Structures are given as structure tokens and as C-alpha cells.
Amino acid sequence: MKCLIEFMANFENALVMSVDFLHPRAHQGRKHPHNLIACCRPCNMLKGRHIFKTFEEAKAYVLARRDELRKSWESETSRSRGNAAKA
């Protein structure tokens, strides 16, 4: 099974795979195959309760968020590595 948002299949993803509602259940999204997507929990979490018109829209949003978070994480870790080197 693949995370349809990143379109990746790896073991870590498989461990945290879940089924998500494209149109959130919290907003009366229905449990219909057209409204269900398989994605890993990190993507699911990032998607949150936002409402997207299409899967493509949801995917673009989640991937952009992941990228943002990765960049801030990378700059944080390189900063702490830099500090450690100075100390």
C-alpha cells in the first residue's frame, strides 16, 4: 500500500498507513470510496481538517507543508550542529 499523497511506498509509511477522508468527516464527509484516500499518518495529520475541492488540491497542500516543515527542521538541525561545533 502506498501513501497516495507522496506516492511513496516504504516500510515506515506502511506502518503508519491510514485511510483519510478527502472531504473531512468533521465536515460531513461521507464514507464513500470516492471520498477515501490511503495516506500515511504524517500526511493525514498535515492535511488536518482543511477542506479541499479535489485530491490534487489536497496533495499540493500537504506536499508544500511537508517541504516547509522539512526546511525549518533542516535549518534548526544545522544551526544546532553549528553551535555544537563552536562549543
Min dist. Cβ of residue 42 to Zn ion (A): 6
Partner residues linked to 3 by β-bridges: 8
| Among residues 37, 43, 46, 58, the one that binds Zn ion under rule CB under 5 A | 43
Shortest distance, position 45 Cβ to Zn ion, whole Å: 10
| Cβ closest to Zn ion, residue 43 vs residue 58 | 43
Q: For residue 32, give the amino acid letter.
A: H
39 in helix, strand or coil? strand
Site residues, Zn ion (CB under 5 A): 3, 5-6, 39-40, 43
